[in-house]
Amino acid sequence: MFGANVGLFLTVIAWGSTAPVINELLKEMDPLVLSAARYIFTSVIFIIWLKIAEGKIGSLVDMPWKPAMILGGIMCAFIMLFTWAIHFSNPISVSIIVAAGPVAASLVDRMVTGRRPQKAVFMALPLAVLGGLIASVDFQSILSGGDIFRFEGGEALMIVGVFLWPLYSTLIQRWFEGMSQLRRTAITFVAATPMIVCIAGVFVLLGLESLPKGNFDTKYIMYFVWSSLATSILGTYLWNIGVQRLGIVIATMFLNLIPVVAVLVSMMFGLEPRMEQLLGGVLVIIAVVQAQLRTLVFNKNK
């Protein structure tokens, strides 16, 4: 369990940087074209990693295509909504909505498995969500008479996305039993890539998006590589391990730390962390730890 917790914290660090970094990448590339480029690069790396780690990639061809295509479709829809949400909104607003992850995960888990969440989870949900929200609120703006949040349209897209991710995370554990987490993750990325590439191609042909000119500096390329290697590859792989070991509901509570990390990472772009982010992070950690401790005690007493 300790390893799963460490993995999820690393995932939060990787994913917490995603919104600010993608926001920078969107300055030079359109949303779907960017998503397609990231997924092509990510899939190639996953195939190489799979070859090195397991010595074979042949079973990618023999994989169960129906569940793979369903999960690939869910992942494709999620990355489209996520990137559009950042494009039409801003990284902080997207991070705020991610704070609803535990609630979405509980509803999806109940829908898919029929399991009723344990009492410890119900007790942790309000505190975890509250922590995520506090981490994203600017109390100084409130005191000065400004708005708490500014909704620009992309938030509605992310609300849908926040339900798709736990659905993907739950189904990938149910449908690919017996496979390593690396192979499961690789399969879904490989399945999702042609979907997002085709959709991006249609948008380009219709003139809704355009291909980049390719005049990228070193910093931009580093951001692109980070958005694939750290967030898509390492983050998703460690996330799937965490879901397997801890369950989708408790694992998703870690996502409430994303607003904290997002703001800290945004310091590169001139933003300073506020006390609200630190306070919210503490509340989320308390929520996650108490839920896990109560669950351990409950399981030992069964």
151 pLDDT above the threshold of 60: no
Closest by Cα among 46, 52, 65 to 185:
46
Residues 230/11, Cβ–Cβ less than 8 Å = no
Between the alpha carbon of residue 31 and those of residues 41, 83, 84, 197, 257, the distances in Å are: 16, 6, 6, 12, 25
Q: Kindly report, residue by residue over 55-100, the tens digit of the pLDDT.
A: 766 555 566 788 899 999 999 999 999 999 989 877 767 776 776 6
26 located within any domain: yes
Q: What is the mean pLDDT of the chain?
A: 80
227 located within any domain: yes
127 located within any domain: no
10 located within any domain: yes
pLDDT at 135: 67
| Residue 275, number of CB atoms within 10 A of its CB | 10
Q: Kindly report, residue by residue over 95-121, the tens digit of the pLDDT.
A: 767 766 776 777 787 788 777 766 766
Q: What confidence tier does 1 reach under pLDDT thresholds 50, 70, 90? A: low
Q: Kindly report, residue by residue over 216-226, the tens digit of the pLDDT.
A: 889 899 999 99
113 located within any domain: yes
Number of domains in the chain: 1
pLDDT at 253: 74
205 pLDDT above the threshold of 90: yes
35 is in which domain, residue-wise?
Answer: 2-118+148-257
Instruction: Give the whole-number percent of the chain exceeding pLDDT 70.
Output: 80
More confident call, 193 vs 265: 193
Q: Kindly report, residue by residue over 261-282, the tens digit of the pLDDT.
A: 877 777 776 656 567 766 777 7
Residue 201, amino acid: G
pLDDT at 272: 63
CA atoms of 110 and 107, how far apart (whole Å)? 5
DSSP classification of residue 29: S
